[in-house]
Amino acid sequence: MAENPPDTDFDATLRDIRRSLDDLLAFEGRYFIVPEEVMVPEAAFVQVPAGASEAVFVADVADTTDVADLETFHQQICECVRCPLGTTRTRFVFGSGNPTADIMFVGEAPGQEEDRQGLPFVGAAGELLTKIIGAMKLSREDVYICNVLKCRPPNNRDPQPDEVASCEPYLQRQIELVQPRVICCLGRHAAHALLKTDAPLSRLRGKLHQYQGIALVVTYHPAALLRNADYKRAAWEDVKWVRKLHDGMEL
């Protein structure tokens, strides 16, 4: 005689399914595919003085320790050629957002669209990051966004150790000036630069790290989410944690 199947709590199952769908809608809105061409308002373009690309100025980080604000720091280092990327870039991509933000997102390096506009995360991955920030009940104006590298590597290849070494002092100074409560590393390259580790992303996610006394959470780079949708639910859990660390809000 066959045993009766265990009782199933259908109401609880339906609640779980609804919560998963609510999370998905909050994370991505009604759209699941980011268009290849992302339009950015003309006002977002950064004007670079004529001849700046030919400059051979090399910023000395030691000379910027008394800089009191991000814009002044930006002006001091925007013509940097400490590594060969300074001679191949179109624009120096410093960062954008709230200069006193509690949440700071750090990516790895500018891509083609970022190099063209001089702003971080304005391509397809940037549009997804904007959606993620919106799902956190915040806007890009509420947070600060930057990269480890300030210049685009050729063909979007991975950052090289010497390039990271050249740019890392700039990132450290940005963090000192912004003074965030939480840093969210987008991808392994940002995490490796700040945490001084070569551990795989799978071992870095889901743990609360510290960077000079600042809470640090590691998640997937938005570009990875565009390549593999299976990562999106895990990334959503990561950024919900970032929001909770920021001000206690449960999403």
| Largest CA-CA distance found in the chain, in angstroms, rounded | 87
The pLDDT-based confidence of 42 (bands split at 50, 70, 90) is very low
Residue by residue, DSSP assigns 109-129 as ---HHHHHHT-SS-SHHHHHH
Q: Is the pLDDT of residue 41 over 50?
A: no
Partners of residue 217 on adjacent β-strands? 184
* CA 106 to each of CA 10, 48, 145, 193, 215: distance values in angstroms, whole numbers, following the listed order: 42, 23, 6, 10, 13
The pLDDT-based confidence of 174 (bands split at 50, 70, 90) is very high
The pLDDT-based confidence of 145 (bands split at 50, 70, 90) is very high
pLDDT score, position 200: 97
pLDDT score, position 183: 98
For 202, list phi and psi in degrees, rounded to 5.
-60, -30
The pLDDT-based confidence of 153 (bands split at 50, 70, 90) is very high
Q: Span 203-231, mean pLDDT?
A: 97
pLDDT score, position 43: 34
Q: Span 185-209, mean pLDDT?
A: 97
User: For all residues of the chain together, what is the average pLDDT?
Assistant: 84
Tokens 């987008």 -> residue: 186
Q: Is the pLDDT of residue 21 over 80?
A: no
Q: Pick the residue with more confidence: 62 or 132?
A: 132
pLDDT score, position 222: 97
pLDDT score, position 129: 98
Classify 186 as helix, strand or coil. strand
Q: Is the pLDDT of residue 10 over 90?
A: no
Structural domains in the chain plus CATH codes: 50-247 (3.40.470.10)
pTM of the full predicted structure?
0.78
Identity (one letter) of the amino acid at 61?
Answer: V
Q: Is the pLDDT of residue 36 over 60?
A: no
Q: Is the pLDDT of residue 159 over 70?
A: yes
